[in-house]
Amino acid sequence: MKLLAALASAALLCSCVAGIGDAPLSAAPAPLPETASLSPAPGMVWVAGSWHWADRDWRWIPGRWEMPPPPPILP
């Protein structure tokens, strides 16, 4: 019985340390509808908005325009 109690205590401690309690308990909601505006500059690409898990809740990060990464330099 003492072994079982010790194992249960160890499992609880590990879950607290590992941050398992902060994991999402549900799937992200459906994406919110967005309409991309005209590109603010030539070469920019639209990055659609998405849900992110933060502070024990889903938060919507709106879409935005970004410059794409530079092409790789080949030897």
At 22-34, the pLDDT tens digits run: 788 889 999 999 9
Dmax (CA) for the chain in angstroms is 69
Q: Among the listed ranges 3-7, 43-47, 51-55, 66-70, which one has the minimum average pLDDT value?
A: 3-7
Instruction: Report pTM.
Output: 0.59
User: Across residues 30-45, what is the average pLDDT?
Assistant: 95
Cβ-count burial 20-42 (b if 16+ within 10 Å, e if not): eeeeeeeeeeeeeeeeeeeeeee
Listed by start position, the domains of the chain span: 44-69
Q: What pLDDT digit, counting tens, does each position of 47-61 carry?
A: 999 999 998 899 999
